[in-house]
């Protein structure tokens, strides 16, 4: 990306910015998604609801700090910033671009060998891609992805996003 004509790390980080109305809509989406994640956790693995922060608070805190830096930020750099810049010209309109991006995001999460991870990733990928079309900011994409990921781990369904860990049935 750095070699592309007109590339700027500053523009990549800040993008177009979000209007106050767009931030409000993103907050509403976050609240609705949080409710969905908690309900899904209650249905799929009720014994794990909030078990991570309650049973392993130090490890949970480490995940809350490191997940945004080591997982969400790199994923957003590749799956939103790079993907949209590099492949945007291949798609006819915003809707097809969002759908393709969400599909790729879900596909990558199939490595966890369960149905929960790709399902939630398709849902989240759609939200993240839609938001990215508004602001084109790596910063805001990483913040949003981080919030959703931290909610998933806090709610207790984050175990489905771990390789080599407990294999939920």
Q: Give residue 7's pLDDT.
A: 86
Q: How confident is the model at residue 163 (pLDDT cuts 50, 70, 90)?
A: low
Q: What is the mean pLDDT of residues 124-149?
A: 96
User: Is 44 inside a domain boundary?
Assistant: no
Q: What is the mean pLDDT of residues 135-153?
A: 97
pLDDT in tens, 20-31: 999 999 999 999
pTM: 0.92
pLDDT exceeds 70 at position 167 = no
User: Is 21 inside a domain boundary?
Assistant: no
Q: What is the mean pLDDT of residues 121-147?
A: 96
User: Is 156 inside a domain boundary?
Assistant: yes
CA distance 22 to 110: 31
Residues in the chain: 169
Count up the domains in the chain and report the number.
1
User: Is 40 inside a domain boundary?
Assistant: no
> Could you tell me the residue range of the domain that residue 73 belongs to?
64-169
User: Is 49 inside a domain boundary?
Assistant: no
The token duo for 107 is: 């596909």
Q: Give residue 35's pLDDT.
A: 98
Q: How confident is the model at residue 5 (pLDDT cuts 50, 70, 90)?
A: confident
Q: Give residue 3's pLDDT.
A: 79
User: Is 83 inside a domain boundary?
Assistant: yes
CA distance 52 to 67: 14
Say which residue the tokens 């309109």 belong to: 93
CA distance 166 to 124: 23
Percent of the chain topping pLDDT 90: 86
The token duo for 30 is: 């976050």
Q: Give residue 17's pLDDT.
A: 85
Question: What is the DSSP code string of 102-131?
Answer: HHHHHHHGGGG-SSHHHHHHHHHHHHHHHH
User: Is 41 inside a domain boundary?
Assistant: no
User: Is 117 inside a domain boundary?
Assistant: yes
pLDDT in tens, 78-132: 999 999 999 999 999 999 999 999 999 999 999 998 999 999 999 999 999 999 9
The token duo for 52 is: 């991570």
């Amino acid at each position: 990306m750095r070699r592309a004509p007109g590339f700027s790390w500053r523009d990549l980080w800040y993008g177009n910015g979000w209007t106050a109305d767009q931030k409000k809509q993103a907050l509403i989406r976050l609240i609705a998604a949080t409710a969905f994640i908690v309900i899904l956790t209650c249905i799929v693995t009720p014994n794990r609801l909030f078990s991570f922060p309650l049973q392993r608070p130090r490890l949970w805190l480490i995940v809350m700090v490191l997940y945004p830096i080591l997982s969400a930020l790199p994923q957003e750099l590749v799956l939103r910033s790079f993907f949209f810049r590099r492949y945007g010209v291949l798609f006819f309109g915003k809707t097809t671009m969002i759908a393709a991006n969400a599909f790729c995001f879900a596909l990558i999460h199939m490595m966890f060998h369960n149905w929960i991870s790709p399902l939630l990733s398709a849902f989240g990928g759609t939200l993240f891609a839609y938001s990215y079309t508004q602001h084109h900011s790596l910063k805001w994409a990483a913040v949003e992805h981080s919030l959703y990921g931290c909610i998933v781990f806090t709610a207790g369904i984050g175990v489905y996003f771990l390789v080599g860990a407990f294999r939920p049935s």
